[in-house]
Structure 1
Amino acid sequence: MSVVVEVEISAADFELGRILGVDGMSSIELESLVPIGGATVPLFWIHNSTRDRFVDSVQRHPTVNSASEVDVFEDRTLFTLDWDANQDHVFRGIREHEGQLLSAIGTPERWEFELRFPSHGALTEFRTHCEDAQISLEVQRVYNPTEPDAGPWYGLTERQREALTLAVQMGYYDIPRGCTTEELAAELGISDQAVTERLRRAIVSLATSTLDPPEQER
């Protein structure tokens, strides 16, 4: 039975966290890891208010060849790094122990990861791998996604469900709005921009799972 774990890792403990630890950044959301040739490169979102400072800082890092824009929207930009995630102990550990990256949101200080492993044994091996690499994991929650009421729900991760539920309860989607993202952020203990990205991803996951569900076998 697969297992999902939510962990926090200091940005200083792994290479990508150090690369993306740009002063003044409030949050970065990892979109995915994309295989290109023999390397695995990250795609991630940043908010446009910090785009220029971000690019200047990241491109000065000795292990990064370049940071390239993939998509630019009014409030955020999707970037990819010319850098191999396989050289990072955290991501190499995820790959070697058959883990899946469900979500990752970071700041210059800390990152929150939600990961799925095929078994508790694989999760234990991943934690041992990180300990051997002197990476300190703070485990926030471990659950089996197939257990009733454990999650995910309609494609939502636990944190996405929490944020979306709170937004509805506090009237964020009411007209006029009953709260701001700043107030949601204060309740959740994360940044304003992290709330915005978490709600966006939650709505995309919910819509994908309910409006365009996988075809049932006939």
Structure 2
Amino acid sequence: MIAARLRIRLPDDVWIADVSQANPKATFRLLSGIRAGATAVELGEVTTDDPATVGDAIATHPSVTAYEELERTTDRVLAKYETTDTALYEFVAESGLPIEYPVTAENGWYEFDLTGSRAEFDRFQAAIEDAGRQYELLSLVHSTDPAGLLTDRQRDVLTAALRAGYFELPRDCTLADVAAALDIDKSTASRVLRRGQTRIVKWFLTTATAQPPRSTDRQ
């Protein structure tokens, strides 16, 4: 299994490049996103000393067709928006290796984590180079040992969910129950849980060599 973190120069023609370079001290985090035809619907968070100004810059950008502010504090703004900039999704589709959220952008660059097989990572790296993207490989870990597969937070959330019966059929608790037990909000619990599950499934499918008996449970 390959676990890597990359830093890639944003294309000049996407909205996040414009806004992040105009606000170089702000940190943008794409928490989730989905492509819907010619547009993408995303949930994004910005930490900055002027959230109102940065939020307005996003909302009024020509590439942002809809914008809904969900929460604002003195140093943070959380928003759901729709954009015609789908280059990230096209690039990921071409490379064949999905990125892991959150994707962080600062001053014209974005960073993200990847987890997959060596072959998948090589294809992704080749796609970056073929596209002529400027990039930095910040970290690369190749391991068949699952001990370091999860972050401490992912392990805590998965363990709490397992103990509470979240993975039982039918479930013995809700995601809100898991979040309450850990004193975190439901969206955070969902995001961490999903990323942890993704890492485990990818590790098993790309690394594990043992073949367990086939289950007869069709559920």
TM-score, normalised to structure 2's length?
0.60
Partners of 1:61 and 1:133 lie apart in 2 by 25
1:120 paired to 2:118:
yes
> How far is 1:18 from its partner?
0.7
Q: Which residue of 1 aligns with 2:80?
A: 80
Write the mapping of 1:151-190 to structure 2, written as runs, cut at 5 A.
151-153=148-150, 156=151
Larger radius of gyration: 2
Partners of 2:137 and 2:146 lie apart in 1 by 21
* Secondary structure of the structure 2 residue equivalent to 1:54: helix
Partners of 1:129 and 1:36 lie apart in 2 by 23
1:29 paired to 2:26:
no
Contact persistence 2:27–2:48 (CA under 8 A)? no
Q: Which residue of 2 aligns with 1:65?
A: 65
- Letter of the 1:147 partner, please give it: D
Tell me: CA distance 1:23–1:77, structure 2 relative to 1, closer, same or farther (3 Å).
closer
- Letter of the 1:112 partner, please give it: E
1:108 paired to 2:57:
no
Partners of 1:210 and 1:14 lie apart in 2 by 43
Partners of 1:74 and 1:212 lie apart in 2 by 33
1:215 paired to 2:193:
no
Q: Which residue of 2 aligns with 1:143?
A: 141
Tell me: CA distance 1:84–1:211, structure 2 relative to 1, closer, same or farther (3 Å).
farther
Partners of 2:13 and 2:145 lie apart in 1 by 32
Contact persistence 2:18–2:108 (CA under 8 A)? no
Tell me: CA distance 1:74–1:10, structure 2 relative to 1, closer, same or farther (3 Å).
same
How far does the alpha carbon of each residue in 1:83-103 deviate from its partner, in whole angstroms, 9 at most, with x for none?
Answer: 145x31x43222330413243
* Secondary structure of the structure 1 residue equivalent to 2:65: coil
Identity level (%): 18
Q: Which residue of 2 aligns with 1:9?
A: 8
Q: Which residue of 2 aligns with 1:54?
A: 54
* Secondary structure of the structure 1 residue equivalent to 2:145: coil
Q: Which runs of 5+ in 2 are unaligned?
A: 170-216
> How far is 1:54 from its partner?
1.0
Q: Which runs of 5+ in 1 are unaligned?
A: 162-201
User: What RMSD, in angstroms, separates the aligned Cα atoms of the two structures?
Assistant: 3.2
Partners of 1:10 and 1:111 lie apart in 2 by 7
Partners of 2:112 and 2:144 lie apart in 1 by 20
Partners of 1:41 and 1:71 lie apart in 2 by 17
Contact persistence 2:24–2:106 (CA under 8 A)? no
How far does the alpha carbon of each residue in 1:107-153 deviate from its partner, in whole angstroms, 9 at most, with x for none?
Answer: 12432211223x2222222222222222122112223465244x332
- Letter of the 1:94 partner, please give it: V
* Secondary structure of the structure 1 residue equivalent to 2:89: helix
How far does the alpha carbon of each residue in 1:28-72 deviate from its partner, in whole angstroms, 9 at most, with x for none?
Answer: 222111344664322111137422211332244332223321344
Tell me: CA distance 1:133–1:60, structure 2 relative to 1, closer, same or farther (3 Å).
farther
